Amino acid sequence: MQYILPATLAFAVAANAVPAQHWHYPKGFGGPPAPGGAIPTGGAYPTGLVPTATGILPWPTAPYSPIKQYQNKGRADDDEESSSSSAASSKTKSSKKGKSSSATASVTKSGNAASATGGASSGNSSAPATTAAPASGGSGSSGGKLPASSGTSILKAVQTIAAGESFDGGMVAFDRGASCTGQTEGGSSDTVFHLEEGASLSNVIIGPNQIEGVHCFGSCTLTNVWWSEVCEDAFTIKEQSASGTTTINGGGAFGADDKVLQHNGAGTLKVTGFTTSDFGKLYRSCGNCKSMSERHIILDDITASEGSSLVGINSNYGDTATLTNIKASGVKDICVEYEGNDSGKEPTKKSSGPSSACIYTESDVTSS
């Protein structure tokens, strides 16, 4: 008997150390777990539970998947980018509004990527590649030629200048590396620069490989901005309040099959010291937008050659054009009045020449 008790204890310890081959599971479990921790394929397990030798452990209802995690991250990034671009379209104001920070694009002769800092942001995480070229500034008065660029930069995504921020391009030529689609109107994602309320853009050349040039969403300022070859439009005021004023100082645009400056929002556009040649219309107040507004254009010190008309306005909506110091050659009409509409129909031409809406005298226009 003295050996029976130790033997019994040893057997009990061994039984606890090595699980028995005959398992007893709660009702609903189909069998023992597979070797190596794999989940059994047979039987019906309660949701969220898996049997073990010592009890029941919770099983995650959504197994981890690296691919799914990556896809979710991509969607989150995409959502962030799309909400960023739509924020400007809905006139969402940046928390930095009113702050003026100078952004610069630097170019290296070795062809390294340029760096853009400050108020400009792009959907591309890396800075666009650039190649160096001799730098040459533009003129503050009209009549100048397209300046030589200090380099070239192909943007993979629209470059957004946040509300109240400024971007100085250092005379780099920016485009999107996309072929012009003619007069097929592009969208905001096709633009080179997207300016939010109160943003400023300066010392930039818009290159030829783009569909839309610059879009403005309220009271923007452009200084010494040039378009080497306009595609659909060079510059468009997409949105602006009736009391807002957008200003263009210096710069110029060339080779526009139709419009150079398009005004869809309300308010005023003031252009000074601008040069254009080989164009359809320098300025056009939208003649058939779904939402029509009263618009005003002020042109001073403009040099224009070989164009159809300098200005087109909708006098039936109260539009006015004020012109001074205009040098024009080969331009058929200086100021044209249209009967605009909000039905999408083609506007009808009413008249051209000085009037109460087209405010200028013959002496305000000379040959360039």
Q: What is the pLDDT of residues 144-158, one digit of tens each?
A: 999 999 999 999 999
Whole-angstrom Cα distance, residue 223 to residue 251?
7
pLDDT for 2 = 53
Model confidence, pTM: 0.66
- Domains present along the chain, CATH in parentheses: 88-366 (2.160.20.10)
Q: What is the pLDDT of residues 190-200, one digit of tens each?
A: 899 999 999 99
Type of residue at 10: A
**3-state SS assignment for residue 83:** helix
The full DSSP string for 147-163 is PPPSEEEE-SSPEEE-T
Q: What is the percentage of the chain residues whose pLDDT exceeds 90?
A: 57
Type of residue at 17: A
- Closest by CA to 307, choosing from 326, 331, 323, 328, is 331
Whole-angstrom Cα distance, residue 225 to residue 203?
6
Q: Give the contacts of 38 (CB within 8 A, at least 6 positions apart).
A: none
**3-state SS assignment for residue 8:** helix
Q: Give the contacts of 180 (CB within 8 A, at least 6 positions apart).
A: 208, 209, 210, 211, 229, 231, 232
The full DSSP string for 35-78 is GGGPPPSSS-PPTTEEEETTEEEE--SS---HHHHHHHHHHHHH
Of 56-60, 135-139, 329-333, the one with minimum mean pLDDT is 56-60
